[in-house]
């Protein structure tokens, strides 16, 4: 089955700097890669996603890149703000069968003012 590895587990950056979180996946047939933001006491919220036919996608200060050959994808947050502090999860959706969505272990991002 699919396995998703996420790094780093914690990340601390100064406000205004950029943050990068990286994930690798094992199933080369996976075709959908969402990123979720989870704030304390809340469920995960989708912030950006990318499909396997696209190499990069941007939405204001956030962007996601996908390298299908290397089976890894990354989340980039520029001009970080205090409200970006949260736990971020990457995920990969398997193509076969139930098309399960498999999550990484999460990255706790802290933005220091």
Residues that bind other proteins (CB under 8 A): 4, 6, 32, 34, 36, 41-46, 49, 89, 91, 93, 97-106
**31 Cβ partners below 8 Å, 6+ apart?**
51, 52, 53, 93, 95
Residue 60 in 3-state DSSP? coil
Please identify, using beta-carbon distances, which residue of 76 and 103 lies nearer to other proteins.
103
Please identify, using beta-carbon distances, which residue of 78 and 108 lies nearer to other proteins.
108
Please identify, using beta-carbon distances, which residue of 18 and 45 lies nearer to other proteins.
45
CA 46 to CA 34: how far, in whole Å? 7
The CB-of-19 to other proteins minimum distance in angstroms stands at: 18
The CB-of-43 to other proteins minimum distance in angstroms stands at: 4
The CB-of-27 to other proteins minimum distance in angstroms stands at: 14
Please identify, using beta-carbon distances, which residue of 20 and 32 lies nearer to other proteins.
32
The CB-of-110 to other proteins minimum distance in angstroms stands at: 15
Q: CA dist 1 to 8, 30, 68, 105, Å?
A: 23, 11, 17, 16
């Amino acid at each position: 089955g699919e396995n998703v590895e996420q790094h780093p587990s914690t990340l601390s950056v100064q406000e205004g700097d950029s943050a990068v979180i990286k994930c690798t996946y094992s199933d080369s047939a996976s075709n959908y890669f969402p990123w979720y933001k989870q704030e304390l006491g809340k469920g995960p919220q989708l912030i950006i996603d990318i499909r396997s036919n696209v190499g990069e996608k941007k939405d204001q200060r956030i962007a996601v890149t996908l390298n299908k050959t290397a089976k890894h994808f990354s989340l980039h947050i520029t001009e970080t703000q205090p409200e970006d502090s949260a736990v971020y999860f990457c995920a990969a959706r398997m193509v076969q069968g139930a098309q399960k969505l498999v999550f990484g272990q999460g990255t706790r991002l802290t933005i220091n003012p």
